[in-house]
Each structure stands twice: as structure tokens, then as C-alpha cells.
């Protein structure tokens, strides 16, 4: 009699009088097996107390239970909170995450190639970067599921934040508070969110009949996270304030991220500039620290984006032939002290509501 420790799939096949392929299909609940054969094989599995090896199961099913996540940074607050949503869904279904942090452009293609290696991962989440066209056909040919997060390509499921609308709403809010000289502190224009948020800023100004001025935009591209960092925000604010003074100084500034804004507040204090009395501030993201810094900001549903990204990837793994989907989130304006709206309210000036977003297809 065979011991349970020594039972193999070959023993099951011999006992049942079928091939190992049939046994594998029975173990993996494949539909192309007759009920009689399935019953016979499963009865032998039970009688011999067969315990399949986890690695062998994965090889047989061609599943690794692992997802590749290619992301610009592990320390950016947006990605930290988005990844929490990804991780929670992955943990619920017993999947592992393989995280690839991109520190320079050449790594993007390297990590995409690694993900395409057969049997390496079951799917890919690709964050906030432009997908190289040379990989589009390869992913389609391999039928490897991919979801783009904070990015877009018509061939793949995508999740986008309407950064343009967020930049527009942030600037419109400052315009509605009476400001006409509004600067912007931005991050590297190599990143899609920075470009789109500036486009929204520019659109709001021009819609109000105010010319866009390049000298009013400070690009804080230095340092980690493409300039989306505290030091860059502090240095950019000091740069803005030391190159302008008196009547020529902006009265408000839109800052491309909360983490930059927190540094910018430090820079303003160092220059003796009061927020919001001397300079109104609106930023973007609504990270946890924004509340404690009393930042008026554009809220992104970061955790929900992460959960949705993972749910889309699971759906794509189940149905590779479904049409690609695009989900779009419009940021919400969260009003706090930094924009000076409270002072307007005390003076009896109504604080305007957020403008209705323009929907894009």
C-alpha cells in the first residue's frame, strides 16, 4: 500500500487507469472531464490521501499567485496609500506582490521584460509612467493581464485621476477668493501628473482672462520622486519669494502635491511670509499630514484607486477577451485654513463652491 507521503500524480493516474493530464484536469476542476472519470479520480485521491505540493499545483495551473507592481517610488505618499489598497485586495485572495521601484528610465523596460518572462507573474500593475509602445504588442501576444494606474493606454484597462480638472479646480478656487496673481510650484514635467496639473492651472487662468506667465511657475524637479518631495517644495517656495517682492509678489500659489506644500510652508516661514494672510496656498492629494498642516487641497481617493486596480486585474485574469475599460476619478476640493477662505467667511464674503468638472471621454 502506498504511503500518503509518497503518493504522486503518476500513482493516481495508474490507479485510475488514465493519463496524468486527465488527473491534472480533475484536480484543477477543468470542465473537459466526464463526471464518471472525475468521480473515479477524486475517490482515489481521497483513498490515497494525496496532498499536492503547492509549487507543483502552481506549475500545473500555470499560475504563480504573484502580481508584479512597477512603480516610480515606494516613499511617495500617493503610492504608499494606493499600494495599501492593492495589498488589502491581494491579501484577501492569497496573492503576493512583487514590487519594482523605478529610479531611472532604463529600469522601466527591464522590469517589464522580467514581468513578461513566462511563469514569472500572473499580471502587472503599471503606475504613473508612459508604457513604451514596444511592449504593447508583446503583452497582448503573451496575453499577460495588465492594468495602468494613474496612466492610460487604449489597449489596456486604465485608471486615471483627472489631474487637469484638479489643477483647474484648485486655481479656480483661488480666483474665486479674489486672487489674480497666482503662482504655481510644480514637479518635473517629465511626469504626467505634473504636466496635467499645470495644464489645469493654465486653463483656469486663461478662462478668467489672465495670461499664463512662465515666470510664475517654479519647477521643483530636483531630488527624489521627480520633485514631489518636501525639500524641493521648501526650496521652490524660497525661490519664489526671494525673486519677487512687494506689489510684484504673487498673492496665492497652487502647489502640485501636499508633500511639496508642507516643505513650502517651511520655506514661507523662513522668509517671514504668513500663510494665508500674505500668501494663500492650495495643494493636491490630501495625504494624512495635510489635515494637520491645515492645507486646502484636492483630494484623491488613493486607497480606493489601489483596490480598484487590483479588482480590475483579477477581472482581466478571468476574462482576457473583455474590452479594455477606463475608470476616471475627479479630485474633490477640501477647504482648510491655508487658502484664507475662513477669513473671507468672517468678512461676510461667501466661499464659492467647487466648479463642476468637465468630463472627458
Instruction: State the 10-residue block means of pLDDT for the chain, 361 residues long.
Output: 58 83 74 84 88 53 81 82 92 87 82 84 91 90 92 94 96 96 93 92 97 93 78 95 84 96 96 95 95 96 94 92 94 96 60 43 33
Distance CA(115)–CA(137), nearest Å, equals: 14
Query: Do 60 and 53 contact (CB within 8 A), yes or no?
Result: no
In which residue are the cell numbers 468637465 written?
Answer: 358
At residue 225, the pLDDT reads 75
Q: Which domains does the chain have, with CATH numbers?
A: 4-61 (1.10.260.40), 66-162+303-329 (3.40.50.2300), 164-299+332-346 (3.40.50.2300)
Helix (H) or strand (E) holding 61: helix 54-61
Distance CA(81)–CA(304), nearest Å, equals: 9
Radius of gyration of the CA atoms of the chain, in A: 27
Query: Do 284 and 339 contact (CB within 8 A), yes or no?
Result: no
pTM of the model: 0.74
280-285 and 217-219 beta bridge pairing: unpaired
Distance CA(361)–CA(349), nearest Å, equals: 36
At residue 60, the pLDDT reads 45
Q: How many residues in total does the chain contain?
A: 361
At residue 251, the pLDDT reads 96
At residue 54, the pLDDT reads 53
Amino acid at each position: 500500500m502506498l504511503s500518503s507521503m509518497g503518493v504522486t500524480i503518476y500513482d493516481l493516474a495508474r490507479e485510475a487507469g488514465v493519463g496524468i493530464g486527465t488527473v491534472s484536469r480533475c484536480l484543477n476542476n477543468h470542465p473537459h472531464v466526464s463526471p464518471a472519470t472525475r468521480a473515479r479520480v477524486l475517490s482515489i485521491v481521497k483513498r490515497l490521501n494525496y496532498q499536492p505540493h503547492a509549487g507543483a499545483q502552481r506549475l500545473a495551473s500555470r499560475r504563480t499567485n504573484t502580481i508584479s507592481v512597477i512603480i516610480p517610488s515606494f516613499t511617495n505618499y500617493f503610492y504608499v496609500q494606493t499600494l495599501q489598497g492593492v495589498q488589502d485586495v491581494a491579501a484577501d485572495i492569497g496573492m503576493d506582490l512583487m514590487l519594482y521601484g523605478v529610479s531611472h528610465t532604463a529600469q522601466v523596460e527591464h522590469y517589464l521584460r522580467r514581468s513578461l518572462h513566462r511563469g514569472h507573474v500572473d499580471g502587472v500593475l503599471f503606475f504613473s509612467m508612459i508604457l513604451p509602445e514596444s511592449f504593447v504588442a508583446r503583452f497582448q501576444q503573451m496575453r499577460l493581464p495588465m492594468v495602468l494606474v494613474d496612466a492610460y493606454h487604449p489597449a489596456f484597462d486604465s485608471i486615471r485621476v483627472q489631474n487637469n480638472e484638479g489643477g483647474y479646480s484648485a486655481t479656480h478656487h483661488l480666483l474665486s477668493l479674489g486672487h489674480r496673481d497666482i503662482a504655481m510650484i510644480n514637479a518635473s514635467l517629465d511626469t504626467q501628473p505634473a504636466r496635467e496639473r499645470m495644464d489645469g492651472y493654465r486653463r483656469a487662468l486663461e478662462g478668467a482672462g489672465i495670461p499664463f506667465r512662465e515666470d510664475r511657475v517654479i519647477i521643483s524637479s530636483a531630488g527624489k520622486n521627480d520633485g514631489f518631495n518636501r525639500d524641493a517644495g521648501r526650496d521652490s517656495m524660497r525661490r519664489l519669494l526671494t525673486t519677487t517682492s512687494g506689489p510684484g509678489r504673487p498673492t496665492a500659489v497652487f502647489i502640485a502635491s501636499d508633500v511639496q506644500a508642507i516643505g513650502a510652508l517651511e520655506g514661507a516661514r523662513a522668509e517671514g511670509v504668513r500663510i494665508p494672510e500674505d500668501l494663500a496656498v492650495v495643494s493636491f492629494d490630501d495625504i494624512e499630514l495635510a489635515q494637520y498642516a491645515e492645507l486646502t487641497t484636492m483630494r484623491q481617493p488613493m486607497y480606493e484607486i489601489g483596490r480598484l486596480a487590483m479588482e480590475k486585474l483579477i477581472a482581466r485574469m478571468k476574462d482576457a477577451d473583455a474590452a479594455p475599460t477606463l475608470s476616471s476619478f475627479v479630485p474633490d476640493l477640501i477647504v482648510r485654513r491655508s487658502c484664507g477662505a475662513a477669513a473671507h467667511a468672517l468678512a461676510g464674503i461667501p466661499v464659492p463652491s467647487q466648479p463642476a468638472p468637465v468630463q472627458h471621454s
